[in-house]
Amino acid sequence: MSPPMTPTSRRSFLGGAAGAGVVASAWPAMAAPSPGGAIAPRARALLPGSRVAAFENGRELDAARLEVEGAFPADLKGVFHRNGPAMFERGDVRYRHWFDGDGFVQRWRIENGGVRYRSRFIQTSKFRTEAAAGAFLFPVSGGGVAASPSAAFSGADSANPSNTSIVAVGAESWALWEGGSAMRIDPESLDTLGLVRLGGEIDGAPFSAHPRRGEDGRMWNIGSLGQRVLLYRLDAAGALESFKVQPLGQEGYVHDFLLTARSLVVVQCSTETRGPRSLESGTFGTIRGVPDKPMRVHVFDRETFDLVRQAELPSGFAFHFGNAWEEGNGTIHFDVVHYVDGDQMLEFFKPLSGQFPTWQGVSHRVTLPPAGAPRFERMHARAEFPKINPRFDARRHRYVYATGFEERDREDWFDAVIKIDLDEGRNGVFSYGPDWMVEEHVFVPRPGGIREDDGWVVGTALNWARGQTALTVFDAARPDVGPLARAWLDQAMPLGLHGDFRSS
Ligand SMILES: [Fe+2]
C-alpha cells in the first residue's frame, strides 16, 4: 500500500521517453527535495496497554525452537512468511502512516512438530542508506519527512520500502510494494537478493502487492498509475511475457485486482486526489473519498489485455478481493471487502499516533452479468484480508477466510478468524479473545486434498497482554472449533500485512 502517482507524474509515465528517465518521472512529487525542511516531531504511540508493541520497530531475531501448544499436523510442512512495515522510528523521527515503515519479513518454519523463527529487515537501498545514516533521509507517502540533500533519487525504487506482501516465485520469494519493483528474497535465509528486473522501461514501474496465479502457474499483476493501469503477465518463473498500459478514464485508487480463467478485473475506488501533496499531508493525505462517485469496474481480456467491458459498483473503497471466477456466458463472480467511507487511506495515519483505525469493511459477493447492473450482496460485516484455497484461484470458490471481529463493539483490532460460506451464508467464527490482535491468515491445502476446505488456516497474531506473537494453525473445515496448534515467540513483533505459505 504505497504512493499512487501525482497527476504530473501520471501524465509523464510511459509518455514516450524510454529507459531510466521514464521510471524517474514516475516517481511522485515526494521526490522533489526540500533540503533542511521540517522534520516530523517524534510522536510516541499511546495505544492502551502493551498494544504499543503492534506498531513499534521490528527486531531481527533467530529462534531455534519455539514453545508449542497442541500438535502441528504431520503433513503440514513448510514456511510461513509475513511481510509488513516495521521500521517506524529512527532518531527522533517517527513516521506518521503505518504503510510507510520499511519491509520486515518474518519466517516461521514448521517441521517435525516444531517451529523455527527468523526475522529480517529487507535490505533495500533506502533501508541501507538510512541505517548507515541513523536517520530517515527519503520522503514517504505519509509525509513528515523532507528529502535529505544526501538522499539520491533515481526513480521510485530509490525509496521502495518493499513492505506490503511476499509471494513465492520459483525458488525465490518476492517482497512486494506497489509503487515500484518487487524485491527478490531468499526464502530461508531472508537475505535480500536484489530488485526484480522485468526489462526495459518497465523496471521500477508500479507493480502491485497482489499478483495472481492462473491455473497453469502463470502470474498476472497490475500497476496503478492514476488514470491508467499497467497490466502484466509473467511466466511461472517470474519472467515477463506481456505488458500493456490501458487508460481507465478517471482516477481512483487501486490496490488489488481479480483474475478469472479469461479476464482480469480492475476495480477503482471512489477516490480523487484532493489538494496538493505537501510535507504535511504526504501523498496518502490527498487520497480522499468522493461519496457519490461509484466504484468503477474494468474487465480486460487476460491474454490480449483488451478492454472487454465496464460496470459500476456502489461508492466506496476496497483494498482487497478474495477471488473471481467466470461462467461460460461471461458472468463474473467475485468477492470484495467494501468500505462505504472512501477516506480509508486516512485511517492508517492513526496507528502511529496512538489511535486505532476503524475497521468497517464489509465482505460482499458481486455478480457481474455480461450486460446490466451488477448484484452486490452483503456477506459478513467487519472483515478484512480475504484469502481462499489457492487451488481454487480463478476458479469457482465457495469459501473465503478473513480476519474479523467476534466482539461486536471491539474497536481496536481484529480478534477473530472467519470462514465465510458464500453459498450457504453460514459463517464460522473463531475468537482469539480480548487480548489478541489478529493478522491475516492464509489457506494451506492438504497434500492430496480435493475438498475446497480440506487444509489448514495458518496465521499470526499478537497477544498484547503476554507481549508475545504467536503462529496458530486451524483445520480449515472448522476453524470455529479452535486451533490445532500454536507456536509462541518469546516476544512481540509489530503487526504485519500479507503472508504466504510455501509448502515443502
Ligand atoms: Fe494488500
The type of residue at 132 is A
Residue 202 dihedral angles phi and psi, to the nearest 5°: -75, -25
Question: Which triple of cell numbers denotes residue 250?
Answer: 478517471
Q: What is the whole-number distance in angstroms between the Cα of residue 112 and the centre of ligand 1?
A: 32
> Quick one: average pLDDT of 404-424?
89
416 burial type by CB count under 10 A (0-12 exposed, 13-18 middle, 19+ buried): buried
| Separation in Å, CA 43 to CA 91, 216, 332 | 12, 48, 46
Q: What is the whole-number distance in angstroms between the Cα of residue 105 and the centre of ligand 1?
A: 15
Q: What is the whole-number distance in angstroms between the Cα of residue 1 and the centre of ligand 1?
A: 6
User: H or E stretch including 133?
Assistant: helix 125-133
The number of residues making up the chain comes to 504
1 burial type by CB count under 10 A (0-12 exposed, 13-18 middle, 19+ buried): buried
Asked which of 21-25, 351-355, 386-390, 445-449 is least confident by mean pLDDT, the reply is 21-25
Q: What is the whole-number distance in angstroms between the Cα of residue 17 and the centre of ligand 1?
A: 31
Q: What is the whole-number distance in angstroms between the Cα of residue 48 and the centre of ligand 1?
A: 26
What pLDDT is attached to residue 327? 98
Q: What is the whole-number distance in angstroms between the Cα of residue 35 and the centre of ligand 1?
A: 33
Question: Which triple of cell numbers denotes residue 67?
Answer: 514453545
Q: What is the whole-number distance in angstroms between the Cα of residue 177 and the centre of ligand 1?
A: 9
What pLDDT is attached to residue 306? 98
The type of residue at 250 is Q
pLDDT in tens, 136-159: 999 999 999 988 988 888 889 999
User: H or E stretch including 347?
Assistant: helix 344-347
> Quick one: average pLDDT of 476-503?
97
473: in domain:
yes
User: H or E stretch including 265?
Assistant: strand 263-268
What pLDDT is attached to residue 190? 98
Residue 459 dihedral angles phi and psi, to the nearest 5°: -170, 175
Domain of residue 280, CATH code:
2.130.10.10
Q: What is the whole-number distance in angstroms between the Cα of residue 149 and the centre of ligand 1?
A: 32
Q: What is the whole-number distance in angstroms between the Cα of residue 499 and the centre of ligand 1?
A: 10
Separation between Cα atoms, residue 398 and residue 409, nearest integer Å: 28
Q: What is the whole-number distance in angstroms between the Cα of residue 386 and the centre of ligand 1?
A: 10
1: in domain:
no
Question: Which triple of cell numbers denotes residue 179?
Answer: 509503487
Q: How confident is the model at residue 500 (pLDDT cuts 50, 70, 90)?
A: very high
Q: What is the whole-number distance in angstroms between the Cα of residue 442 and the centre of ligand 1?
A: 13
Which residues is 107 bridged to in the sheet?
81, 118
145: in domain:
yes
Question: Which triple of cell numbers denotes residue 490?
Answer: 518469546
Q: What is the whole-number distance in angstroms between the Cα of residue 298 and the centre of ligand 1?
A: 19
The pTM of this model reads: 0.92
358: in domain:
yes
What pLDDT is attached to residue 189? 98
Query: What are the start-end ranges of the E strands in 162-237?
Result: 165-169, 172-176, 183-185, 192-195, 212-213, 219-225, 228-234
Separation between Cα atoms, residue 399 and residue 424, nearest integer Å: 10
What pLDDT is attached to residue 92? 87
How confident is the prediction for the chain on average, in pLDDT?
90
Cα-only R_g, the chain? 21
Q: What is the whole-number distance in angstroms between the Cα of residue 166 and the centre of ligand 1?
A: 10
Which residues is 114 bridged to in the sheet?
111
* Residue 363, pLDDT above cutoff 90: yes
* Residue 21, pLDDT above cutoff 60: no
What pLDDT is attached to residue 354? 83
Q: What is the whole-number distance in angstroms between the Cα of residue 71 and the centre of ligand 1?
A: 31
- End-to-end alpha carbon distance in the chain: 29
Separation between Cα atoms, residue 161 and residue 178, nearest integer Å: 10
Written as one string, the DSSP assignment of 452-474 is TT-EEEEEEEEETTTTEEEEEEE
235: in domain:
yes
Q: What is the whole-number distance in angstroms between the Cα of residue 34 and the centre of ligand 1?
A: 31
Q: What is the whole-number distance in angstroms between the Cα of residue 258 and the centre of ligand 1?
A: 13
What pLDDT is attached to residue 440? 98
Q: What is the whole-number distance in angstroms between the Cα of residue 320 and the centre of ligand 1?
A: 6
* Residue 46, pLDDT above cutoff 60: no
196: in domain:
yes
> Quick one: average pLDDT of 234-254?
97
**Beta carbons of 460 and 442 less than 8 angstroms apart:** no
> How many domains is the chain built from?
1
Q: How confident is the model at residue 208 (pLDDT cuts 50, 70, 90)?
A: very high
Q: Which domain holds residue 420?
A: 7-503
401 burial type by CB count under 10 A (0-12 exposed, 13-18 middle, 19+ buried): buried
Q: What is the whole-number distance in angstroms between the Cα of residue 150 and the centre of ligand 1?
A: 31
Separation between Cα atoms, residue 216 and residue 7, nearest integer Å: 37
What pLDDT is attached to residue 49? 61
Written as one string, the DSSP assignment of 19-35 is THHHHHHHS-GGGS--T
Q: What is the whole-number distance in angstroms between the Cα of residue 302 and the centre of ligand 1?
A: 21
* Residue 24, pLDDT above cutoff 70: no
* Residue 8, pLDDT above cutoff 80: no
> Quick one: average pLDDT of 414-419?
96
Most distant CA atoms of the chain, gap in Å: 60
Q: What is the whole-number distance in angstroms between the Cα of residue 164 and the centre of ligand 1?
A: 7
2: in domain:
no
pLDDT in tens, 308-362: 999 999 999 999 999 999 999 999 999 999 999 999 999 999 999 888 899 999 9
Side-chain-side CA neighbours of 268 within 13 Å: the count stands at 29
Question: Which triple of cell numbers denotes residue 227?
Answer: 488514470
Q: What is the whole-number distance in angstroms between the Cα of residue 241 and the centre of ligand 1?
A: 24
Helix (H, G, I), strand (E, B) or coil at 415: coil
Asked which of 104-113, 371-380, 407-416 is least confident by mean pLDDT, the reply is 407-416
What pLDDT is attached to residue 50? 67
pLDDT in tens, 88-117: 999 989 999 999 999 999 999 999 999 999
Which residues is 362 bridged to in the sheet?
338, 381
**Beta carbons of 178 and 65 less than 8 angstroms apart:** no
**Beta carbons of 219 and 393 less than 8 angstroms apart:** no
Q: How confident is the model at residue 406 (pLDDT cuts 50, 70, 90)?
A: confident
Q: What is the distance, to the nearest Å, from the Cα of residue 1 to the centroid of all Cα atoms in its chain? A: 6
Separation between Cα atoms, residue 106 and residue 119, nearest integer Å: 4
